[in-house]
Structure 1
Amino acid sequence: MELLEGRDVPLGRYSVVRRTLPNKVRRTVGAWCFLDHFGPEEVTGKPGMRVPPHPHIGLQTVTWLFDGEIRHRDSLGSDELIRPGQLNIMTSGRGIAHSEDSPAAKPPLLHGVQLWVALPAGSRDQAPRFEHLEDLPVASAPGVRMTVAVGSLGGVSSPAVVHSPLLGAEVTVAARTPAEITIDPAFEHGVVVTGGAVRVEGLDVPPGSLLHIPEGRAALRFEGAGRLFLIGGVPLEEDLVMWWNFVARSHEEIVAARDEWQAGSDRFGVVPGGQEPLPAPALPMTRLLPRHRVA
């Protein structure tokens, strides 16, 4: 097992997130290639989340809240308010744009995780789509409650459509020693503690860090009391080029996507709401190279 430290990253003008994937030593967990943990933040009298329209290719976005509300709008015409315990999953495929904002009449706290899933080669050029799921399955074990956002855990399965073997679940651990859940030994897993104090397999996992658990393990043991987000999947063997909001396989794909976004191409469409789209940053002076899942 390996404890990976996160880093603070500005998100828009008003928020700072803790990014644990990609990490300098490990870039993916299964097909999960990006994980931001934001909050808990008091947003009363503040803008809260303000992320203007921006593009994606080659990935799925997964938004999960513990507190607060976020309004999602995209170039397909989707307009959904997500609340705790609900799932927003957006498949960019060959291209989509979306925005994420705190509503005007927002709850006082904002706390959640934002993740990306790299679409495998055979699925990454599909048409874009969006799902908002309010009724997600819940499983339990002694001392543990699990809400399954993606994949299967504890004998229940999420209806969310994904394109590789994956797991994403909120796990609440009661003050009980020890508590144990069964996991898929074909998966590698990652644990982010988002509240309380939880030990995983005897290791402290501080908030803002990610514990990587290699494949081959059939159960996880928890001690303490708190909440965590558990991810997992079959190790991804495809090398990725990740830059800004794009997941691709080559430098040329990234350049083409950036140029089309800057030109206002129909590839990404228009996000309703009248917000000014986010301009793409300048490309680096060096060529973008595919990266393996482990540095």
Structure 2
Amino acid sequence: MSSFEADPEVLGRDTSSAGDQAGLELLEGAPVALGGPRGFAVTRTLPNKHRRMVGAWCFLDAYGPQDLTGTPGMRVAPHPHTGLQTVTWLVAGEVLHRDSLGTLQEIRPGSLNIMTAGRGISHSEETPATHTPVLQGVQLWVALPHTDRDMAPAFDHHSDLPVLTDGGLSATVLMGTLAGVTSPARCYTPLVGAEITLTAGAEATLPLNPAFEYAVLTLDGAPTVRGVTVKPGPLLYLGSGRDSVRLETASGARLLLLGGEPFTERLVMWWNFVARDHDEIVQARADWSAATPRFGTVRGYAGDPLPAPPMPIARLLPRGRVR
């Protein structure tokens, strides 16, 4: 998925307080229309103005549930990526992925698409011609560390992910390890991503890794997470140093848990590129605009590739995970 913006930061606010809620931050999302003012609507919570990353997770768009009746659904034209992994997870509906490796893969709820951009790849995403009426899901980016950022591009689809159950809690582990359960998806830094479902009236304590920082996003319902009721929209940052988190819900809920070791490298994020300095971004933009072999060609999408936005007048500066 494309950011469609040269600087994708959104505003946030800190809800730190005493007691069980100490150190928590509620990061408000910003509405973004993919493809222009009449495009597909998403809510972006990462990167946020004051907290740009959670572990290596550096980008989070949530969309839906959206009724696609009478609409074209999602249509994101071919666009490039560098230095990251794209991670697609659906709650409802279908998305068709094409990329410059020749991949054609439809994703549905319960399966996972991971595209590793490395030194350069391009892809498109769209609602397939035959689809169910409602679409809901998330698109995430994971920043690759310096040692792997120029690796060859790759694509992986996982249709059988491990599930952790405990009473009224069920957790599908998308990436990394949670409570001893490990996903087969390839990671390049220590991190975790999991979809957690809670049945009505559930009360559960989920074990965490104290070396990780964590955040949760509600997809359905209004669960209470460490004493804070979290409705769909904002991202609740939990911080690090916690060995568990208490989850409760009266009527059932679905959440996305993200975590990882704090990412210490300073990054430049501009449009769809993750790099280390301004000159790398300039080169990536030039390579895409000139249609060099670096990003390949996406075949089968009915439309033109996305043009790169103009470079800013000032030099882009590397930034850390927090301002």
Aligned to 1:273: 300
Of 97, 104, 121, the residue aligned with 1:72 is 97
For structure 1, list consecutive stretches of 5 or more residues without a partner in the other structure.
Answer: none
Q: Is the 8 A contact 1:20 1:36 kept in 2?
A: yes
Aligned to 2:18: none
1:101-132 C-alpha deviation (Å, 9 max, x unpaired): 00011110000000000000000000000001
Aligned to 1:189: 214
Q: Is the 8 A contact 1:165 1:233 kept in 2?
A: yes
Matches of 1:239 and 1:16, distance apart in 2: 30
Of 28, 32, 57, the residue aligned with 1:9 is 32
The structural deviation recorded for 1:176 is 2.6
Letter of the structure 2 residue corresponding to residue 7 of structure 1? A
Letter of the structure 1 residue corresponding to residue 248 of structure 2? E
The structural deviation recorded for 1:249 is 0.5
Q: Is the 8 A contact 1:140 1:154 kept in 2?
A: no
Aligned to 1:262: 289
Q: Is the 8 A contact 1:6 1:18 kept in 2?
A: yes
TM-score by length of 1: 0.98
Q: Is the 8 A contact 1:141 1:181 kept in 2?
A: no
TM-score by length of 2: 0.90
The structural deviation recorded for 1:68 is 0.2
Of 265, 274, 285, the residue aligned with 1:247 is 274
Aligned to 1:219: 244
Matches of 2:241 and 2:292, distance apart in 1: 45
The structural deviation recorded for 1:142 is 2.0
Instruction: Provide the secondary structure at the position in 1 that maps to 2:216.
Output: strand
Aligned to 1:289: 317
Matches within 5 A, 1:81-230: 81-224=106-249, 225-230=252-257
Of the structure 1 ranges 151-160 and 16-25, higher mean CA displacement relative to structure 2 is found in 151-160
Q: Is the 8 A contact 2:91 2:137 kept in 1?
A: yes
Q: Is the 8 A contact 2:221 2:231 kept in 1?
A: no
Matches of 2:124 and 2:93, distance apart in 1: 17
The structural deviation recorded for 1:177 is 4.8
Instruction: Provide the secondary structure at the position in 1 that maps to 2:279.
Output: helix
Instruction: Provide the secondary structure at the position in 1 that maps to 2:264.
Output: coil
Q: CA 1:119 to 1:46, structure 2 compared with 1: closer, same or farther past 3 Å?
A: same
The structural deviation recorded for 1:44 is 1.8
Provide the aligned length of Structure 1 versus Structure 2: 295
The structural deviation recorded for 1:17 is 0.5
Letter of the structure 2 residue corresponding to residue 282 of structure 1? P
Instruction: Provide the secondary structure at the position in 2 that maps to 1:256.
Output: helix
Instruction: Provide the secondary structure at the position in 2 that maps to 1:106.
Output: coil
Which has a greater percent of strand? Answer: 1
Instruction: Provide the secondary structure at the position in 1 that maps to 2:285.
Output: helix
Matches of 1:177 and 1:147, distance apart in 2: 17
1:256-280 C-alpha deviation (Å, 9 max, x unpaired): 0000000001000000114311000
Instruction: Provide the secondary structure at the position in 1 that maps to 2:269.
Output: strand
Aligned to 1:29: 54
For structure 2, list consecutive stretches of 5 or more residues without a partner in the other structure.
Answer: 1-23
Matches of 1:31 and 1:42, distance apart in 2: 32
Q: Is the 8 A contact 1:68 1:109 kept in 2?
A: yes
The structural deviation recorded for 1:175 is 2.0
Q: Is the 8 A contact 1:151 1:157 kept in 2?
A: yes
Matches of 1:12 and 1:147, distance apart in 2: 31
Of 232, 245, 255, the residue aligned with 2:259 is 232
The structural deviation recorded for 1:184 is 1.0
Letter of the structure 1 residue corresponding to residue 300 of structure 2? G
